[in-house]
Structure 1
Amino acid sequence: MDAKKSLVTVLSNIVVLLLAGGATVVQACLPSDRAALLEFRSKLNEPYIGVFITWRGQDCCRGWYGVSCDPNTHRVSGITLRGESEDPIFQRAKRSGLMTGSISPAICKLTHLSNIIIADWKGVSGVIPSCISNLLFLRHIDLVGNRISGVVPADIGKLQYLKVLNLADNQLSGGIPWSITRLTSLSHLDLRNNYVTGAIPRDIGRLKMLSRVLLSGNKISGQIPESLTRIYRLVDLDLAMNRIAGPIPASLGGMSVLATLNLDGNLISGEIPETLLRSSISNLNLSGNLIAGRIPNTFGPRSYFTVLDLSRNRLQGPIPASITASSFIGHLDVSHNHLCGKIPTGSPFDHLEATSFAYNDCLCGKPLRNCGK
């Protein structure tokens, strides 16, 4: 009898293990997540590459292209669909094609999403579902390179874990929502090449983790917020081709790691702050503004520029002699100003062409005409 009881116990344990194993398989993809994915997919059309061919079967966590799941919770945690990819599924395609359609609000039913990447399809349109602000685990939103219109969701600031917000190269309009200043984990903000209007939020300096702020190619107005200069991690600041006015904050030149400052194509006035020319900035583009006064005579060994573009402004006076003390200047453009006097000799002027100095009042010397006695 003892042997029979032992055998029954062993068999019972095996049955329990098998049932547990079966439960794990079922949990690999919750039916509600699978249904939400299929509803999301129904609003998109991609006929050429076959991105959604693998979206079959009951287990959306295994083999569904671009879908990732949390191994602990068995919930869908990521959607990654890139239109320009090195993945073999794209390389095998006989011809590339556009994905069209829109982003369904059904995506908001995937409550454990941490990543949404629907990028570089050129044809995805519609609006960003406002309910996306309720996906509180989101860390990465990348919708670059589509035809998405509408506005940035007003409650985007609810996403406390968000690190990357890339909505560049779309057709978004409206202002930058003030709630964006609540995204204290944000390190990358890219809204380039849209139709965004209004001013940069005054308190954007609260986002201490930002390393890149890319807002060029919009219709942004107002002034450069002073608070931007308190983001000590900021490396790239691109505000080009907007309608920004007012002076350049001198404190931009005091930022310890700022390497790229693009302010070209705006309505910026005032003078060039001396601090910019002896800062950590190596790519400085101030062209196409209303900047007046003289070029500060404050260059020195710390001045290192791969690009220094001051063209198409209202600058007067000579090119400062201290510019030859710079450790390096790769590209210099001071054309289309009101500069006058002799062009300094030596580096970097020994490798620059006449176009770098053209359309000034009375500059002379190599590579322009000789100066008279």
Structure 2
Amino acid sequence: MATTTFFYTLLAIILLSLTSVSNACPPSDRAALLAVRAALKEPYLGIFNSWKGYDCCHNWYGVSCDPETHRVADINLRGESEDPIFQKAHRTGYMTGFISPAICKLERLSSLTIADWKGISGPIPPCIAYLPFLRVLDLIGNKLTGEIPTDIGQLSRLTVLNVADNQLSGTIPRSLTNLSSLMHLDIRGNRISGTLPINFGKLRMLSRALLSRNKLNGLIPYTISYIYRLSDLDLSLNQFSGPIPASLGKMAVLATLNLDGNQMSGPIPPTLINSSISILNLSRNAIEGYIPDVFGPRSYFTAIDLSYNKLRGRIPKSISSATYIGHLDVSHNHLCGRIPAGSPFDHLEASSFVYNDCLCGKPLRAC
């Protein structure tokens, strides 16, 4: 009886062992992860201490696998996190090294996040553009250099591309406009130059386009208005020039438009005033002409900043018919005449109107 019991116990252990092995990640994925780890140095938190053993699908920090194929599907390594490992250390993360091209051997990778480590340098491996299942690429907050991979447009399933706050240069790849599933594009805070592709409007699924703090120049392509889902467009602190496309004011869901800190010229399109836009920042450009006198019930602005331009004439009385204006700044222009009474002017400070040619009335001096 004892022999039989021992036999079944031994058989159960063997079966359990075989099951564990069959549910483990393949050796090729494990080897790729270890190569990625070898290229990165994280001295304070020990997040890679768990990357040991033969099964990278279980208890490897930041690694998740597909439950059916047992291939590595997600890498989520954030240097700023509420994870207990950060709370215990009372600090954010810091990591140096580079992103190894071995990452591209993880052929079933769906999400790659290596974000906010502040010290990771080197290029984005060009082979990342050939990971066929990649949906999320988030490399924000490092010191990556080089260019956005030329063939980034091969990632037909990509929905998030976030490479903000790095030191990337070069231009926006032409192939990027082939990302028909892209919903979130963030390249802020780099050194990317050149013009926006004329066919930028092909990104029909895009809801946020954040491109500020680069060296982009040339005209804003009117095709942006073809992106009917776009709600947040930030082109600020670049070198864009020429007129503001009037078609931007005809976009159905555009709520935030930041064009400040460029070299835009010409008048303010009236379409921007009677639109769905609630945050409009056109400050620090060379915009001239009059403030369009077309405010009405559709005009709902939490903030509208027209300061540091070349605007002239009066402040339009129709502003009083806007449904809501939370903040208005028309300072540093060439405006003249009486500041209208009533809302929204009764809650604005003098700083919103200073440094004009001859504005008067509350909150400035009496006319």
TM-score, with length taken from structure 1 = 0.94
Deviation at 1:90, TM superposition (A): 1.3
Which residue identity does 1:69 align to in structure 2?
C
SS of 1:123's equivalent in the other structure is coil
Match in the other structure for 2:229: 233
Secondary structure of the 2:123 match is: coil
Question: Shift in Å at residue 92 of structure 1?
Answer: 1.4
Q: Does 1:286 align with 2:282?
A: yes
Map 1:343-354 → 2, pairs under 5 A: 343-354=339-350
The one-letter amino acid paired with 1:92 is K
User: How many pairs are equivalent?
Assistant: 361
**Is 2:80–2:92's contact at 8 Å kept on the other side of the alignment?**
no
- Give, as a single letter, the amino acid of the residue that structure 2 aligns with 1:334: V
Distance 2:47 2:245 in 1: 48
Contact 1:334 1:357 in 2 (8 A): yes
AA aligned to 1:331 is H
Q: How far off its partner does 1:98 sit? A: 1.1
Q: How has the CA–CA distance of structure 1 residues 94 and 319 changed in structure 2, closer, same or farther, with 3 Å as cutoff? A: closer
- Per the alignment, in what secondary structure is the counterpart of residue 118 of structure 1? strand
Matched, 1:38 2:34: yes
1:319 alignment counterpart: 315
Pairwise CA distance, 1:369: 0.9
Structure 1 counterpart SS, 2:68: coil
Runs of 4 or more, structure 1, over 4 Å off, are 14-21, 94-97
Question: Contact 2:86–2:93 at 8 Å: present in 1 too?
Answer: no
Q: Could you say which residue in structure 2 is the equivalent of 1:258?
A: 254
SS of structure 2 residue aligned to 1:181? helix
Q: Would the aligned equivalents of 2:24 and 2:54 in 1 still touch at CA under 8 Å?
A: no
1:25-51 Cα deviation digits (max 9, x unpaired): 234211010010000100100111111
The residue type paired with residue 192 of structure 2 is: V
Give matches, 1:201-220, under 5 Å.
Answer: 201-220=197-216
Counterpart in the other structure of 2:302: 306
Structure 1: segments with no counterpart, 5+ residues = 1-10
- Counterpart pick for 1:25 among 5, 21, 28: 21
The equivalent of 1:56 in structure 2 is 52
Q: Secondary structure at the match of 2:119?
A: strand
Distance 1:358 1:186 in 2: 43
Distance 2:44 2:90 in 1: 8
| 1:258-285 C-alpha deviation (Å, 9 max, x unpaired) | 0000000000011000010010000000
3-state SS, counterpart of residue 145 of structure 2: coil
Alignment partner, residue 359 of structure 1: 355
Instruction: Give the alignment partner of residue 339 of structure 1, picking from 315, 330, 335.
Output: 335
- Tell me if the contact between 1:269 and 1:292 (Cα under 8 Å) persists in the aligned partners: yes
User: In structure 2, what is the equivalent of residue 4 of structure 1?
Assistant: none
Partner of 1:155: 151
Structure 1 pair 94/349, CA: closer, same or farther in 2 (3 Å)? Answer: closer
3-state SS, counterpart of residue 265 of structure 1: coil
Asked whether the equivalents of residues 81 and 92 of structure 2 are also in contact (C-alpha less than 8 Å), the reply is: no
Letter in 1 for 2:219: Q
The CA deviation at 1:234 is 0.3
2:257 aligned counterpart, secondary structure: strand
Match of 2:4 in 1: none
What SS does structure 2 have at the residue aligned with 1:244?
strand
Q: Distance in 2 between matches of 1:333 and 1:92?
A: 45
Once the two structures are superposed, what CA deviation does each residue of 1:306-349 show, in whole Å capped at 9, x if it has no partner? Answer: 11000000001000000000111111000000001110000110
The one-letter amino acid of 2:276's match is S
2:340 counterpart letter in structure 1: P
Task: Report the Cα offset of residue 146 of structure 1.
Answer: 0.6
Q: Which runs of 5+ in 2 are unaligned?
A: 1-6
Q: Is residue 48–residue 96 contact of structure 1 (8 Å, CA) maintained in 2? A: no
Q: Secondary structure at the match of 1:92?
A: helix
In 1, the alpha carbon distance for the partners of 2:16 and 2:194 equals 57
SS of the equivalent of 1:106 reads: helix
What aligned pairs does 1:67-86 form with structure 2 within 5 A after superposition?
Answer: 67-86=63-82
**Residues 119 and 144 of structure 1 are in contact (CA less than 8 Å); yes or no, is this contact kept in structure 2?**
yes
Mapped partners of 1:113, 1:45: distance in 2: 22
Deviation sequence 1:67-115 (CA, Å, 0-9, x none): 0100111100111100000011111125545111110001011111001
Corresponding residue SS for 1:360: coil
Asked if 1:247 corresponds to 2:243, the answer is yes
Match of 1:329 in 2: 325
CA distance in 2, matches of 1:244, 1:290: 11
| 1:221 match | 217
SS at 2:21's partner residue? helix
Deviation at 1:15, TM superposition (A): 6.9
Partner of 1:5: none
Identity score, percent: 64
Mapped pair 1:189 → 2:185? yes
Distance, in Å, in 1 between the alignment partners of 2:54 and 2:238 is 49
The answer to whether the 8 A contact 1:235-1:259 is kept is: yes
Distance 1:336 1:152 in 2: 38
* 1:173 and 2:169 are equivalent in the alignment: yes
